[in-house]
């Protein structure tokens, strides 16, 4: 299964030409998870050729407008396009009130089931299983209740090597056990080690999404060792006072978090509209962690 991350919006509070508020799609084969849905997300989807019909799960981190104002529009378009398939929506409890009110005053009765699951920002929570992944929310440290999201692929089992199964005359009823890691003992007492019988699978993958937040130690523990981390880096460190006051992270701090959490790759985003050139932000994060890329709208990352 291919796993890709598509950036639809990499900006913060206000958009600038070419940089929309936050939204991204995690593509797990043919199914997609939409993570945050800033204003203009559906236009970005058209621009980058994404079909809304592939979105099965939507995760909203918090209720600042740059993370969810595109949602009523996207859901309305799904309705107008005749969607029948359910959407599973996770977000802060008041998101349901906002949507219900919008649909009430517009006299819209959605043609598809919208299943809403409230999130909380007190502790780590398992939200759902989707396409072989466990999806968790975890608390971030922002001005209003905010959660990050963690995607952890379930352990992948190896593939049985058919020729070897035949060669050692292994009974079918043992296949499950062998796939799970057991060795085999032949009738004359020879031990056939598991690695002869099973081809190792590609390792499981993990992805963590952190926007918006002040740098926090508890986050470092949750995202420890992930393969890919998307972390906000709204400001350069020269604006640390502004970052602290608004519960945001600087590029330097984002690099330090990636480094302390021992992640493998860092993508920074959620940039203030004051920055047109992203090089200084990327360079600043790279001082602590050099596997870093500054996100731009339309970028695609192949996570595996
Ligand atoms: Zn925010």
Locate the DSSP E strands across 80-177.
Answer: 87-91, 114-118, 125-130, 133-139, 147-153, 159-160
Residue 290's CB is within 10 A of a number of other CB atoms, namely: 11
Of the listed 66, 121, 212, 227, which one is catalytic? 66
Do the beta carbons of residue 57 and residue 90 sit within 8 Å?
yes
Going from the Cα of 188 to the center of ligand 1, the distance in angstroms, rounded, reads 67
pLDDT in tens, 167-182: 998 999 999 889 888 9
Per-residue b or e along 179-211, where b marks 16 or more CB atoms closer than 10 Å to that residue's CB? eeeeebeeeeeeebebeebbeeeeeebbbbbbb
69 CA → ligand 1 middle, Å: 12
State how far the Cα of 219 lies from the Cα of 151, in Å rounded to an integer. Answer: 14
pTM for this model (two decimals): 0.89
Tell me what pLDDT residue 295 has.
96
Is there a contact between 115 and 147 (Cβ–Cβ < 8 Å)?
no
From 121-125, 130-134, 199-203, 276-280, the region with the lowest mean pLDDT:
199-203
For residue 64, the CA-to-ligand 1 centroid distance in Å is 5
Q: Is-contact 15 3, C-beta < 8 A?
A: no
The DSSP symbol for 297 reads: T
Instruction: Write out pLDDT tens, residues 46-88.
Output: 999 999 999 999 999 999 999 999 999 999 999 999 999 999 9
Q: Which domains does the chain have, with CATH numbers?
A: 3-156+202-302 (3.60.15.10), 159-199 (no CATH)
Helix, strand counts (H, E) of the chain: 11, 18
Quick check: 156 pLDDT over 80?
no
């Amino acid at each position: 299964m291919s796993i890709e991350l598509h950036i639809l919006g990499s900006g913060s509070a206000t958009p600038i030409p070419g940089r929309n508020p936050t939204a991204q799609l995690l593509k797990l084969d043919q199914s997609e998870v939409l993570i945050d849905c800033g204003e203009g997300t559906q236009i970005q989807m058209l621009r980058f050729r994404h079909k809304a019909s592939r979105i099965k799960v939507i995760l909203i981190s918090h209720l600042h407008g740059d993370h969810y104002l595109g949602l009523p529009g996207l859901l309305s378009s799904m309705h107008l396009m005749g969607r029948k398939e359910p959407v599973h929506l996770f977000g802060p409890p008041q998101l349901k009130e906002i949507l219900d009110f919008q649909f009430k005053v517009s006299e819209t009765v959605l043609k598809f089931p919208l299943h809403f699951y409230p999130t909380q920002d007190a502790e780590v929570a398992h939200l759902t299983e989707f396409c072989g992944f466990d999806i968790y929310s975890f608390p971030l440290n922002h001005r209003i209740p905010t959660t990050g999201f963690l995607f952890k692929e379930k352990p992948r089992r190896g593939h049985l090597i058919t020729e070897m199964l035949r060669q050692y005359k292994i009974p079918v009823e043992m296949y499950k056990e062998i796939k799970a890691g057991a060795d085999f003992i032949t009738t004359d007492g020879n031990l056939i080690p598991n690695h002869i019988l099973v081809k190792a699978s590609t390792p499981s993958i993990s992805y963590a999404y952190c926007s918006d937040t002040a740098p926090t130690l508890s986050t470092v523990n949750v995202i420890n060792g992930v393969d890919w981390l998307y972390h906000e880096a709204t400001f350069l460190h020269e604006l640390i006072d502004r970052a602290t006051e608004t519960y945001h992270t600087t590029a330097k701090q984002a690099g330090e978090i990636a480094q302390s959490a021992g992640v493998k790759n860092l993508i920074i985003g959620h940039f203030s509209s004051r920055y047109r050139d992203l090089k200084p932000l990327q360079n600043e994060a790279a001082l602590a962690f050099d596997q870093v890329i500054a996100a731009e709208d339309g970028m695609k990352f192949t996570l595996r």
